[in-house]
Amino acid sequence: MLKPFLITIMENKHYYSKTQENIKSEPKQYIFNFKNHSFKFNTDNGVFSKDYIDYGSFALLKEFIPNELDAPILDMGAGYGPIGIVISKLYNKKTIMCEINERAYNLILSNIKLNNSNSIAYNSNLYEKVLDIKFSSIVTNPPIRAGKDIVFAIYDGAYNQLLEGGELWVVIQKKQGAPSSKSHIEEIFGNCEIVAKDRGYYILKAIK
């Protein structure tokens, strides 16, 4: 069962908050070239990695390989959508993205159109909007600043939302809790592989 959780919003001091209305909007756009594809992303203040795709997400995209299960892929805590949108275009897979931050969610919607992506998005507090959907893979660059309870709730909920044989993919820095994340995922899934280590980031994979 998905563990109960509480998200406390403290004057929008971190991007993992529902509203960013107190943060001045300064829209911008960047181009991300990856595996012979060119992606454009609209970003803004109040969202994670607003200037360019963060290295952790890039490291995860370098390693991720979709499995053969016939079900969508979920990007949990999608930000403005770079992981989910890139995966959908590279592998022609339906992706679903969940994001609590309303500004980031609206950027996802614009970025889906901008990149002609086979994706949909939900303004969702973790899995609340997708509890009736099972996924082939769940990918996440978890919101570390939201706290361990939220990060671990993402792992716990992933087990419930994956099909048998489905995979959880996580990118997290060693100094921000990669070893404890690996241990927690192993408790839930019974396995957790370190797929790669890249500039202090661990790419973790667990199979249900």
CATH code of the domain containing 120: 3.40.50.150
Nearest to 98 by CA among 30, 157, 26, 166: 157
- Report yes or no on 168 lying in a domain: yes
Ramachandran angles phi, psi of 48, nearest 5°: -70, 130
Q: Hey, what amino acid is at 92?
A: N
- Report yes or no on 13 lying in a domain: no
- Report yes or no on 31 lying in a domain: no
- Report yes or no on 27 lying in a domain: no
> Would you call 101 exposed, middle or buried from its count of C-beta atoms within 10 A (0-12, 13-18, 19+)?
buried
Q: What pLDDT sits at residue 5? A: 35
Cα gap 19→84, rounded to integer Å: 22
Q: What pLDDT sits at residue 108? A: 98
Successive 10-residue mean pLDDT values, the chain, 208 residues = 35 45 88 98 95 98 98 97 98 97 96 96 97 98 92 98 98 96 98 98 98
Q: What pLDDT sits at residue 21? A: 61
Q: How many structural domains does the chain have?
A: 1
Cα gap 197→59, rounded to integer Å: 9
- Report yes or no on 6 lying in a domain: no
Q: Hey, what amino acid is at 29?
A: Q
- Report yes or no on 79 lying in a domain: yes
Q: What pLDDT sits at residue 15? A: 47
Q: What pLDDT sits at residue 145? A: 84
Quote the domain boundaries for residue 114.
50-207
- Report yes or no on 9 lying in a domain: no
- Report yes or no on 133 lying in a domain: yes
